[in-house]
Amino acid sequence: MSFEYAPAPESRAVVSIKPKYGHFIGGKFVAGSKHFPTVNPATEEVLSQIALAGKAEVDAAVKAARKAYTTTWSKMSGKERGKYLYRIARIMQERAREFAVLETLDNGKPIRESRDTDIPLAAAHFFYHAGWADKLEYAGLGTSPKPLGVAGQIIPWNFPLLMLAWKVAPALATGNTVVLKPAESTPLTALLFAEVCQQAELPAGVVNIVTGDGSTGALIVNHPGIDKIAFTGSTEVGKIIARAVAPTKKSVTLELGGKAANIVFDDAPIDETVEGIVNGIFFNQGHVCCAGSRLLLQENVAEEVLHKLKNRMEKIRVGDPMDKNTDVGAINSKEQLAKITELAAAGDAEGAERWSPACTLPAKGFWFAPTIFTGVTQAHRIAREEIFGPVLSVLTFRTPQEAIEKANNTPFGLSAGIWSEKGSRTLWASQQLRAGVIWANTFNKFDPTSPFGGYKESGWGREGGRHGLSAYLKGVSHE
């Protein structure tokens, strides 16, 4: 006798998607000139037509942000600024289901994740930062911390609303105004967030949202009226931005790529570890910069872990993101699917061994089965390059020193995982690892109070916690 899951679809009746959207500038929606489609990656259905911001729109948004900064936001007391952020947090909670459904339709991630992770965390970021607005002089970042001015913020498609919250909440709490560009393929929740700003009666121009592609992003990065650039995305684009702003006075924070090692020592609690490995690489289809994409297994437990991991992967439910039972949803775009496919093919070509559980993928949409590669060496592309998909590269080690050497053998340094029941070993390993976030006996945990960001080529600066505030304040002694 076998148990089957009956379909448990979330209703999309809670959202109404307009056929066409404009930009949100100076507190109002303004019509765009050119448009491009945004699609549901699970069905390839065109959800809406999105405006492509050019120079005129970006100029208007920067102008609105500057005006709001000079006339309103920088003059308002922290206490009052904070209350606007609290309002935003509350409205996001009230409209959480609407945000979750919209996020899943536009992004392809399982409704369970958008409902339980993305949206609650986004609201929590506003709630947390609201409380900082009138306490900045106690943050240990100078006795008279001052905002930078207008922040240009460019966010990715993997956690659209959450990344918006990571950028907008600290910027507003510290007294900056923003021009935000959501990712080309996932603009809908940012546009719904614009409505939240209206409902919160946020002064016009404090938040401006322009939609578009990389060309719009470049206009923001190079705009002379912007004081700060905050970017989350690829290391490749991060370096382009670092070079572009080098001759300017702009300050910059970058949250870039990763190739995290998830290290399993032989005294690890194996069943919990297997759950952690699955969460580390298959959460959000592996579209996670801090994903545990390199599994390092101590040799004497490698066979047991792999056996249990494969058993567990047989039970992963891949399919309709709107189904409340779905574990792994759709790949966000055709382009991303092509990239994952190409890198997985390189894994085959370089001699690693591919394995996926038997699973039927939907005929329409963009899909990639959860995949592991064993027999991976450090020279393989799948051990060096960020795949940004549900593909795990498995390597082995004998001694703890070897594990650390392999883990640190990457230009990235965003995150790492450690699985062990021995406290002193866990703390030793967390000291040795060159990464900004270390998860010990857990993985992919996020919280507004917890600084997030990378070493080396994973970026500049931290987001979240007391540390994240400094990204939006003057008054630290360095430039």
Partner 1 sequence: MSNRIDVKKTYKLYINGAFPRTESGRTYEVKSAKGAFVANPCLASRKDLRDAVVAARAAHAGWNKATAYNRGQILYRIAEMLEGRRAQFVDEIMQVTGVTKMKAEKEVTDSVDRLVWYAGWTDKIASLAGSTNPVAGPFYNFTIPESMGVVAAIAPETPSLLGFIDAVAPIITSGNTVVILASTKAPLSAMTFAEVLATSDLPHGVINILTGKKEEIAPWMASHMDIDALDISGLPAKLHAETKVAGAENLKRIHSFKSADPGRIIAFMEAKTVWHPIGL
- Active-site positions? 255, 289
Please tell me whether residue 27 binds partner 1 under the rule CB under 8 A: no
Minimum distance, C-beta of residue 319 to partner 1, in the bound complex (Å): 29
One of 407, 453, 471, 473 touching partner 1 (CB under 8 A): 453
81 interacts with partner 1 by CB under 8 A:
no
Give the count of beta carbons closer than 10 Å to the beta carbon of residue 288: 23
Class of residue 317 by CB neighbours under 10 A (exposed 0-12, middle 13-18, buried 19+): middle
- According to the binding rule CB under 8 A, does residue 156 interact with partner 1? no
What is the C-alpha to C-alpha distance for residues 105 and 321, in angstroms, rounded to an integer?
8
Among 49, 234, 341, 450, binds partner 1 (CB under 8 A): 450
DSSP labels for 331-385?
A: -S-HHHHHHHHHHHHHHHHTT-EEE----PPPSSS-----EEEES--TTSHHHHS
Q: By CB neighbour count within 10 A (0-12 exposed, 13-18 middle, 19+ buried), where does 344 fall?
A: buried
The minimum distance between CB 229 and partner 1, in angstroms, equals 13
User: Which span sits near partner 1 by CB under 8 A: 38-46, 57-65, 372-380, 430-438?
Assistant: 430-438
**Interaction between residue 218 and partner 1 (CB under 8 A):** no
Q: Is 474 in the site for partner 1 (CB under 8 A)?
A: no
Phi, psi of 375 (to 5 degrees): 65, 30
Among 2, 360, 424, 477, binds partner 1 (CB under 8 A): 477
- Distance, in Å, from the CA atom of 250 to the CA atom of 227, rounded to the nearest integer, reads 5
Q: Does 204 bind partner 1 (CB under 8 A)?
A: no
Among 404, 457, 471, 472, binds partner 1 (CB under 8 A): 457
Nearest to 107 by CA among 33, 18, 40: 40
Which segments of 73-187 does DSSP mark as H helices, in order?
Answer: 78-94, 96-107, 111-113, 119-132, 160-173
Instruction: Give yes or no for residue 243 binding partner 1 (CB under 8 A).
Output: yes
Tokens matching residue 17: 């998607």
Near partner 1 by CB under 8 A, which window of 80-88, 181-189, 233-241, 380-388?
233-241
- Helix, strand, coil percent content, the chain, rounded in steps of 5: 40, 20, 40
Q: Does 242 bind partner 1 (CB under 8 A)?
A: yes
Per CB under 8 A, the list member of 256, 268, 343, 394 interacting with partner 1 is 256
Beta bridge partners of 418: 263, 440
Quote the strand ranges of 173-298, DSSP E.
177-181, 207-209, 228-232, 251-255, 261-264, 294-298
143 binds partner 1 (CB under 8 A): no
Distance (Å, whole) CA 301 – CA 279:
19
Shortest Cβ 235–partner 1 spacing (Å):
8
* 105-124 positions binding partner 1, by CB under 8 A: 124
Angle 138-462-144 from CA coordinates, rounded to 5°: 25
Q: Is there binding between residue 291 and partner 1 (CB under 8 A)?
A: no
Interface segment toward partner 1; rule CB under 8 A; list 174-182, 198-206, 236-244, 343-351: 236-244
**Among 8-16, 167-175, 184-192, 246-254, which window interacts with partner 1 (CB under 8 A)?**
246-254
- Of 69 and 446, nearer to partner 1 (C-beta) is 446
State the number of binding residues for partner 1 (CB under 8 A).
43
Q: How far is the CB of 460 from partner 1 (least distance, A)?
A: 7
| Cα–Cα distance measured from residue 415 to residue 291, given in angstroms and rounded to the nearest whole number | 8
Nearer to partner 1, 105 or 263 (CB): 263
440 part of the interface to partner 1, by CB under 8 A = yes
Q: Does 403 bind partner 1 (CB under 8 A)?
A: no
**Which candidate, 405, 383, 359, 166, places its Cα nearest to that of 293?**
383
Q: How many helices (H) does the chain have, and how many strands (E)?
A: 16, 19
Q: Decide if residue 129 touches partner 1 (CB under 8 A).
A: no
Q: Which of 7, 9, 140, 351 binds partner 1 (CB under 8 A)?
A: 140
Closest approach of partner 1 to the CB of residue 327, in Å: 21
Q: Does 442 bind partner 1 (CB under 8 A)?
A: yes
- Which of 106, 459, 469, 473 binds partner 1 (CB under 8 A)? It is 459
CB atoms within 10 A of CB 312: 17
Contact (Cβ atoms closer than 8 angstroms) between residue 112 and residue 438: no
CA 111 to the chain's CA centroid: 16
476 contacts partner 1 (rule: CB under 8 A): yes
Cβ-proximal residues to 72 (8 Å cutoff; 6+ apart), any chain: 203, 205, 206
Binds partner 1 by CB under 8 A, chosen from 40, 177, 186, 235: 235
In whole angstroms, how close is the CB of 197 to partner 1 at the nearest point?
25
Helix (H) or strand (E) run with residue 391 in it: strand 391-397
Can residue 424 be called a binding residue for partner 1 (CB under 8 A)? no
* Chain residues that interact with partner 1, rule: CB under 8 A: 124, 140, 235, 238-239, 242-243, 246-247, 254, 256, 411, 426, 430-431, 435-442, 445, 447, 449-453, 455-457, 459-460, 462, 465-467, 476-479
